[in-house]
Amino acid sequence: MTEACTHKASDCASHLEATVHELPKDSSSSEFNELDEEYFCNSNASTKQSVPEPQPLDESCYPSFAPLIQACQEYANFSGCRFSIKAFEGIDCESNARLPVVNDMRSLDEGPLLSAKLRAVSIVRSFTERLRNGDSELVEDLTRAFDLAIQESARNSMIASCKAADIFPPSPIPSGVADDDCSWDEVGLASAWVIAQRLYNDEAQRLTDIVDGRNLTLVRAKTASFIVEFAEEIGVGLPRMPPERMDMLEQFQREIAMWKAAPDKHVAQPHAPSLSELNNVKTAASFILGATAIALGGAAAVGMFAAGAQVSRSARASRAARAMRA
C-alpha cells in the first residue's frame, strides 16, 4: 500500500515537473502580471480595447497652444470648455517642489476635478508667462482664435435674430439659393430673407461635419473661445474687433426690422424641413445645445459685442461664481 502511494506521488511529481518544463520561462510571471494589472487597475479585456471618448477641444487648430489644450482637456470636460484662472488659485507648483501643494479652499474640490487641475496647472502657469511676455507664435494663434470667436458670435447673433423674426428657415425658400449656399456673411449684397436661408443652410451642413463622434466645427469654435478666454483671464490684451463685423451686425438688424415692418412681407411659417429631419434628432439636439453654449458662453467674444471691447460686469460676476464652484 505504502509502496503504491509512493509510486503515485512520484508519478505526479514527474508529471508536474514535465508540465513546468513545457511552459515558457516567463509565462507564469507574465500571467501573474496580467492578473495583477487587471486587479489593481480594475480593468478587463473589453476596457482595454474600448475607444477613448472624444476630447472636447481640438489640439491641432492652434499649434502653439497645443500643449496647453492637451493639458486642459480633462479640465475642459468639467468646466464646459470655459477657462477661469481663479480655478487654479490655491495650487502651488513651484519648480523645486516635488508635488503641487493645495490650500484649504482648493482641497474642497472633488477628486476628479482637482486631479484635472493638478494635471494642467504647471502648463497653465507656463503659458501665462509666455503670453504675457508677448510670445510671437502665441500672439499669432490668439489673433486667429479671436477672429473665429468673433465670427461665431456674429453668426449666432444673426441666427437668434432670424428666429425672433420667424424666418429660420424662411418660408417660402428664396429663389436662387442652393442648398449648399452658406455665404451668410454677405450682408449688404443680399436681402435679409436670403441671408436667413444661407444661415439655415450653414447650420444644416454643420450637422454632417461629424468625425470620430465630434462635430468638428463646434469643437473648433469651443477651442477658439477657450483660448480667447484664457488670454482675457490672465490679463492679456485682445486684438481689436474689426469694425466691419459690428457694421455687418447692425445692418442685418436694420434689414430684419425693415422686413418686419413691411406690409407685404412674406408670412413666415417655418414649414421647411427642420434641422432634426436633415440629420437625426439626437445629433441635432446636441448640436443646437452646443451652439447655444457658444452663443451664451465665451465671455470675451460675446461681451465685446454687447459692450464694445469690455466684458460686462455681470459676466465677470457670473464667471467668478462659477470659478468658486469649478
pLDDT tens readout for residues 55-101: 999 999 999 999 999 999 999 999 999 999 999 999 987 766 667 78
pLDDT of 34 higher than 90: no
Q: Cα 58 from chain centroid?
A: 7
d(Cα 183, Cα 271) in Å, to the nearest integer? 22
Per-residue model confidence (pLDDT) at position 314: 42
User: Residue 211's beta-bridge partner residues?
Assistant: 214
Per-residue model confidence (pLDDT) at position 16: 41
Confidence band, pLDDT 50/70/90 cuts, at residue 49: low
d(Cα 84, Cα 33) in Å, to the nearest integer? 42
DSSP 214: E
pLDDT tens readout for residues 158-183: 999 999 999 999 999 999 999 999 99
Per-residue model confidence (pLDDT) at position 264: 66
Q: Which of 11-15, 19-23, 120-124, 245-249 has the lowest mean pLDDT?
A: 19-23
User: Model's pTM, two decimal places?
Assistant: 0.67
